[in-house]
């Protein structure tokens, strides 16, 4: 069993948005799977809390706001050589189109699309990603479904998946893979402040709403060598919601 490919031993993985929620779970579970983790987020105090939960290893943290060009470049330079990156950082974006403002749209796209794509660009340009590396974007089922008022968020995630498929072809000659995860509703600090709303939404998920760990386990699969021929795809983690 020690030789099976479902592990991350010997790999160095960058996780953005690692200060809470899905990003924190990804960082914790990647460390448990054997990876050396670079945890990134905007808040150093919360990053320290994540680091304290990582299993022993050559882990590192770097506080950065990825919507700031200088901080994004500093993170990319800090990484050195890595075997994978999981782009978890992002924001929500709820507003009806009739009330949409350009500044709001810019904020959502800067965080959910521009930041992960430009970070990827810098990592590729600097040859920070080793041959065979895995690039993983956390998207959402919102990119595939229609929900009133969620247009800006849905559009940012749909754009992310569109570019992901093109990038997968660009990096394939280096045996790199590029994929996306599309979770349904996940019980994170971003949504669990309104428990009544969360419980109402949970009724539309036949298998229940997700936990951050569910996304983390899927991320490990797409980071590890077991998925070395999986690229340009989106893995849905919707608990049956798409079929209700």
* DSSP summary character for residue 55: P
Secondary element (H or E) of residue 217: helix 212-223
CA dist 140 and 53 (Å) reads: 26
At CB < 8 A and 24+ separation, what contacts does 73-77 make?
A: 73/122, 75/40, 75/119, 76/119, 76/122, 76/123, 76/126, 76/128, 77/126
Pick the catalytic residue: 153, 205, 217, 221?
Answer: 153
CA distances from 168 to 38, 46, 172 (A): 23, 32, 6
Q: Are 34 and 222 within 8 A, CB to CB?
A: no
Of 127, 237, 226, 144, nearest to 177 by C-alpha is 226
Catalytic residue flag (residue 221): no
Q: In sequence order, what are the residues at sequence separation of 6 or more whose Cβ sits closer than 8 angstroms to the Cβ of residue 66? A: 16, 40, 72, 75, 89, 111, 115, 116, 119
Q: Which residues are catalytic?
A: 153
């Amino acid at each position: 069993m020690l030789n099976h490919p479902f592990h991350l031993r010997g790999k160095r993985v960058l996780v953005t948005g690692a200060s809470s929620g899905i990003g924190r779970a990804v960082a914790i579970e990647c460390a448990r799977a054997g990876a050396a983790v670079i945890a990134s987020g905007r808040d150093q105090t919360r990053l320290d809390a994540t680091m304290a939960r990582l299993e022993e290893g050559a882990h590192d943290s770097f506080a950065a706001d990825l919507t700031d060009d200088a901080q994004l470049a500093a993170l990319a330079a800090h990484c050195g050589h890595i075997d994978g990156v999981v782009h978890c950082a992002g924001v929500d974006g709820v507003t009806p189109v009739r009330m949409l403002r350009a500044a709001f749209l810019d904020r959502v796209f800067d965080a959910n699309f521009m930041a992960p794509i430009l970070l990827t660009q810098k990592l590729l340009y600097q040859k920070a990603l080793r041959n065979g590396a895995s690039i993983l974007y956390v998207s959402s089922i919102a990119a595939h479904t229609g929900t009133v008022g969620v247009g800006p968020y849905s559009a940012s995630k749909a754009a992310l998946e569109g570019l992901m498929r093109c990038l997968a072809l660009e990096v394939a000659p280096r045996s790199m893979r590029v994929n996306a995860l599309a979770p349904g509703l996940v019980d994170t600090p971003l949504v669990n402040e309104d428990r009544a709303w969360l419980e109402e939404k949970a009724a539309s998920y036949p298998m229940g709403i997700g936990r951050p760990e569910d996304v983390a386990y899927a991320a490990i699969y797409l980071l590890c060598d077991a998925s070395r021929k999986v690229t340009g795809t989106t893995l849905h983690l919707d608990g049956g919601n798409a079929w209700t």
